[in-house]
Structure 1
Amino acid sequence: MGVTAVWMVPVAVSPLPEASGDSADLSTTGTPPSAGNPNLEPLALFIWNIATEQRKRQLCDYFSMCDGTSNSLNMYNMQLPQIRKRDKCFESSFQKKKCLIRIVQGFQDYKKYLQFVRQRIVGDNLQVDAMLSSSKILVDLLPLESKIRERIAQQDNSKEGTFNLDESTKTDWDKQVTVHVILRNFALFMESTIRAIRFMQSAPATAL
């Protein structure tokens, strides 16, 4: 049974387009910012940049799509964390506490998927390690109350485990498609996270 029929279904990836209007300003250098920097946007941009660059590299190295066109892979999807309108992370209905909880939960949920990427990606694992460690730093720096963090951590521990493909989807093609989908969806998650961070940092205190 193919990878699509088992657990990948063609559903909407995110409310944000894959090549969003903000993509031009979602660029950063290859050097992560200091963990002590109160401006979290550079760190979030650093994580996003690694995810997008690793995806482009994989498209070229494994799928021979070096022009970045991945239309033939758009039919594949997974039920991965995304930031939706109900999470109150968008300017029209922003709620800081609710939004931060969703972002932290999303990062926690992505850990096992990014570990899967690290084990199976074609190329340099050091960049994926940097993405994982930087994601942890970003989560630790987000201004969320400790008691809420503890509750999220407890929920995370209760469903802790590694992500593995179904027995019927163990071909190398299935694994690499899975890597592609995880990187694609994680990059979209990071786009929403970056916008939420920008709004938190620019909005007046009364709006938060």
Structure 2
Amino acid sequence: KFTVCENSMEMLVQNNLNLPKVTEEDGCLLAGFDEEKCLRKLSSGLFAFQTYLEFIQETFASEKQNVESLCYGTKHLATTIRQMVINPDEVVIPDSASQKSLLSKLKSDKAWIEKITTHLILRDFTSFMEKTVRAVRYLKNTRSFS
């Protein structure tokens, strides 16, 4: 587990990131699974991560191709899950202005802050994807869904 000191700059960065998270209220956990609510959350979260992944693409030049692939796959998954929602219009997709604003807030003139930001984004993205995989696997096993 990754821990940080209470007053560290890293904690400040983490608190300002506002990364999507899957919580109990989202209906994605086995107990209290709510398909519609969960799919909405997963799709919205994946669309929200697009901007964060774009930031990583800009700051992590050595892995440009891998990050591009990750961005494409994430967008495709978000779109696919959105199509599974009964009312796709309820899926929150960040508008262009919000994305540009967030992207500029993520940038820093300090390379180490950008590295920490990248680390935190990837860590939370990994956690979000783990929960996404669990939910999709659960759906696959409980209905005729391929």
* TM-score interval, smaller chain: 0.7 to 0.9
TM-score (structure 1 length as normaliser):
0.57
Structure 1 Cα separation of the partners of residues 89 and 42 of structure 2 = 15
Is the aligned partner of 1:200 residue 2:114? no
Query: C-alpha root-mean-square deviation of aligned residues, in Å?
Result: 2.5
- Secondary structure in structure 2 of the residue aligned to 1:124: helix
Distance 1:126 1:85, change over 3 A: same
Q: Which residue of 1 aligns with 2:123?
A: 184
Q: Distance in 2 between matches of 1:158 and 1:182?
A: 20
117, 141, 144: which one aligns with 2:85: 144
Q: Tell me the SS of whatever aligns to 1:116.
A: helix
Select the residue among 24, 39, 50 that pairs with 1:100. 39
> Which one of the candidate residues 121, 137, 143 is aligned to 2:60?
121
Look up the match of 1:164: 104
Provide closer, same or farther for how the CA distance between residues 141 and 171 of structure 1 changes in structure 2, counting only shifts above 3 A.
Answer: same
Contact 2:44 2:78 in 1 (8 A): no
Counterpart of 1:89 in 2: which secondary structure? coil
- State the AA in 2 paired with 1:164: S
SS at match of 2:18: coil
Q: 1:6 to 1:84 in 2, by over 3 A?
A: closer
Distance 2:91 2:97 in 1: 11
Task: Tell me how far 1:110 sits from its aligned partner.
Answer: 0.9
| TM-score (ref. length: structure 2) | 0.78
Superposition deviation, residue 3 in structure 1: 3.7
Identity across the alignment (%) = 23
Cα 1:200–1:161 shift into 2, 3 Å: same
Determine if contact 2:20/2:48 at 8 Å carries over to the other structure.
Answer: yes
1:80 aligned residue (1, 16, 19): 19
Report which of the two structures shows the higher radius of gyration computed on alpha carbons.
Answer: 1
Superimposed CA distance per residue, residues 161-189 of structure 1 (whole angstroms, 9 cap, x where no aligned partner): 2323478x521111111111101110000
d(CA) in 2 for partners of 1:198, 1:150 = 24
Query: What amino acid does structure 1 have at the position aligned with 2:14?
Result: M
Higher relative contact order (CA 8 A, sep 6+): 1
Q: Extract unaligned runs of 5+ from structure 2.
A: 1-7
Quote the Cα distance in structure 2 between the aligned partners of 1:133 and 1:114.
10
Q: Which runs of 5+ in 1 are unaligned?
A: 10-76
